[in-house]
Structure formats: C-alpha cells, structure tokens
Amino acid sequence: MVPPIAAPSAPGTLRESGATSTADGSPSFKDPVKDTILTPRFYTTDFDAMAAMDLRPNEVELEAICEEFRKDYNRHHFVRNEEFVGAADKLDPDTRKVFVEFLEQSCTSEFSGFLLYKELSRRIKTKNPLLAECFAHMARDEARHAGFLNKSMGDFGLQLDLGFLTANKAYTFFQPKFIFYATYLSEKIGYWRYIAIYRHLQQHPESKIFPIFNFFENWCQDENRHGDFFDALMKAQPSTVRGFQARLWCRFFLLAVFATMYVRDVARKEFYEALGLDAREYDKLVIAKTNETSARVFPVVLNVEHPKFYTRLERIVTNNNALNAADQSSSIQVIKAIRKLPFWLGNGLEMAKLFLMAPIRSENFQPAVR
C-alpha cells in the first residue's frame, strides 16, 4: 500500500465489463471517482541516490527481512473461493456504491505501491542488489493485492484500467527520505486499517458484506513486513531519523497522513457504517495505533490524545463540506474560488495549528519498545 497523502492528478479509469458493455459489444466507461487531494498518489524518486545508499549500518536486519520476504508466506493465500460467487448481488445499491469506491481506492493505492517498488527494484538492481531484491518482493506482494482487489471489482462488472492508470497518473517526485517517511506510514497505517476491520468483523460476522474481508488477516501481515522493511531502512540511514530537521519532517508526515485519512474516511462514513463501524472511532483507533508504532523509528510522534487534536481535524472536515458545497454553487470558476477562499484559509490555519502542537519525543512515549 502506498500513502494516502495525495495531490490532484489524472483520474483513474473504471472500465465496465460484462453485462454493461455497449450495444456493439465494446466496453463502455463509467465515470471514475473524481480525483481530489484525498485520492492516492503515484510516486517517483531519485534512483541514483537510492542505488548509492550504504546499508551497512543495519545490513543484518535488512538481510533478515529480505529472508522473510523470500519465504513468501502468502504465496497461496490470495485464491478466490466459492464464497465470492453471487456475493456482489447481495449488496443493496447504496452499499454497493460505497463498497466499489473502497475497492477502487484500495486497488489504486496497492497498485501505486507496486509501480514504485517495481521501478526501484529495476533501477537499482546492479548497484544495490539487497535493496533491489527487497523492493522486488514487495512489488510482488502489492501486485497480488491490487490484482485481488481488481478481481473483486470484476464481480461488480467493473475493472480498474491499470495500464491507463500507469500511463496517465501524474507522478510526484519525492527525495528518498520522504519516500521512506511516506511509505513507512502508509504500510503501517495499512496494517492497522486491515487488522482493525478484520478483528471487528470477527466479532460481528453479520456485518461482513463481502468475502474479501476474510483475506485481511494474512494480507495485513504483508503490509506489516513492508513497514518493518522501511523501519530497518531508515535505521540504515540514521540521518533520516535523527536531528532537528528529521523531527520536523516526521511531524509533518504523521500529520499529513493522519489528517488526510481522517477527512477522507469521515467523508465516506457510509462505507464504514455498512460494516457496522463508526468512521471516526475507527480512524481514532488506527491513528493511535499507527502513532504508537511509529515511535519505534521516528524521533517524535504526535500528541493525538490532546483534546484539541480531533477538534481541529473536525474543523477541517466542516471546511471541506463547505468547499464541496461551494463547488456546486456556481458554474463560474472565479465565483467558486472566492466562495472557497475562506475555507481554504481556514484549513491552512488548522493544519498550521496542528503542526505546531507540541509533539512527543519517542523515547518518552514508548521506552520499552525503543
């Protein structure tokens, strides 16, 4: 999985298949979910810098992680069974809509991870073979995850056109250390998101709206291992997690990832309701757990227990609703922009206040783990 921090870029394309094709038999196209600041982003980086990375400070741990990847524990896990037959037809239209959006966003995130890891493994293969091998194993896992999600979309007569997506998505350039922060958080948050849903559905099997959730337990272990790899990689490059600048950047990435997820999930709370979950409570749990995990490698983490933390995130949620309303309010761009301006400024202010909240030094947060 790759980060939910996102920028506007070309939308993904959903190709309808099967019964919904046009009269001449050619596939028709459904309107894709609109790309916004909250949709998954595609990344590229400085491949030469990655290739030149000295792993010696933590080579033993990285080699051990690579050995785990080689075992390929989930080689036989992602096999569809008879439970999928007819499962899509059981969803009511509203649930179907939010569930398909969930599948599309998840598939795009997984596929974004695949593209980045695959390209990294290819570009550094000769100069940094251990790193290249780790990325190749992770690309294998993400391709499996994306493919599995895409097959579920096929149950709804839809396919994400991954070739189109590869060619048409805008790629965001990040320096390697920013790739580490963003992908580390994305993998760990992915782990907590999947395991939280899995555990909830174990307690409430009546809310399991689709058999794909049965696969989340082993699936999230892939994400956990990917996160551990980035943890080890940052420890091999200690400057990424030491010093004043690193503390600022870690705060920034934690906040960007948490805020984006919270705003996005509250906006699609109907999906969580369909699973019998409250989007806010679910996100608070995932944020608390990811923050706690991050203290193992980041020098600081956020004070998410501070009473103002969620008050400020809620203001951003409210501003975003107002921004959406302003978007619908006129067909004239200038008028829209004028109506939106106060809410954009409001969001900037809230994010600045959140960023300036005193963080917690990781050694104070989880002394036992460190």
Q: Site residues (CB under 5 A) for Fe ion? A: 1, 110, 142, 145, 187, 223, 226
Instruction: Considering the complex, state which of residue 116 and residue 259 has its C-beta at the smaller distance from Fe ion.
Output: 116
Query: Cβ 186 to Fe ion, closest distance in Å?
Result: 7
Instruction: Considering the complex, state which of residue 144 and residue 340 has its C-beta at the smaller distance from Fe ion.
Output: 144
Instruction: Considering the complex, state which of residue 233 and residue 246 has its C-beta at the smaller distance from Fe ion.
Output: 233
Instruction: Considering the complex, state which of residue 1 and residue 254 has its C-beta at the smaller distance from Fe ion.
Output: 1
Query: Cβ 109 to Fe ion, closest distance in Å?
Result: 8
Instruction: Considering the complex, state which of residue 102 and residue 309 has its C-beta at the smaller distance from Fe ion.
Output: 102
Query: Cβ 108 to Fe ion, closest distance in Å?
Result: 12
Contact yes or no for 208/277 (Cβ under 8 A) = no
Distance CA 28, CA 33 (A): 16
Query: Cβ 42 to Fe ion, closest distance in Å?
Result: 15
Instruction: Considering the complex, state which of residue 133 and residue 350 has its C-beta at the smaller distance from Fe ion.
Output: 133
Query: Cβ 279 to Fe ion, closest distance in Å?
Result: 21
Q: Which tokens hold the place of 41?
A: 């982003």
Q: Which tokens hold the place of 211?
A: 């058999």
Distance CA 335, CA 357 (A): 34
Q: How many other CB atoms sit within 10 Å of the CB of residue 291?
A: 23
Label each residue of the chain as H, E or C.
CCCCCCCCCCCCCEEECHHHCCCCCCCCEECCCCCCCCCCCEEEECHHHHHCCCCHHHHHHHHHHHHHHHHCCCCCCCCCCHHHCCCHHHCCHHHHHHHHHHHHHHHHHHHHHHHHHHHHHHHCCCCCHHHHHHHHHHHHHHHHHHHHHHHHHHCCCEEECHHHHHHHCCEEEECHHHHHHHHHHHHHHHHHHHHHHHHHHHHCHHHCCCHHHHHHHHHHHHHHHHHHHHHHHHHHCHHHHCCHHHHHHHHHHHHHHHHHHHHHHHHCHHHHHHCCCCHHHHHHHHHHHHHHHHCCCCCEECCCCCHHHHHHHHHHHHHHHHHHHHHHHCCCHHHHHHHHHHHHHHHHHHHHHHHHCCCEEHHHHCCCCC
Query: Cβ 226 to Fe ion, closest distance in Å?
Result: 4
Query: Cβ 178 to Fe ion, closest distance in Å?
Result: 17
Instruction: Considering the complex, state which of residue 55 and residue 220 has its C-beta at the smaller distance from Fe ion.
Output: 220
Query: Cβ 142 to Fe ion, closest distance in Å?
Result: 5
Distance CA 319, CA 326 (A): 10
Instruction: Considering the complex, state which of residue 187 and residue 228 has its C-beta at the smaller distance from Fe ion.
Output: 187
Query: Cβ 365 to Fe ion, closest distance in Å?
Result: 25
Instruction: Considering the complex, state which of residue 189 and residue 277 has its C-beta at the smaller distance from Fe ion.
Output: 189
Instruction: Considering the complex, state which of residue 104 and residue 187 has its C-beta at the smaller distance from Fe ion.
Output: 187
Query: Cβ 220 to Fe ion, closest distance in Å?
Result: 9
Find tokens 């309701």 and name the residue: 273
Contact yes or no for 157/20 (Cβ under 8 A) = yes
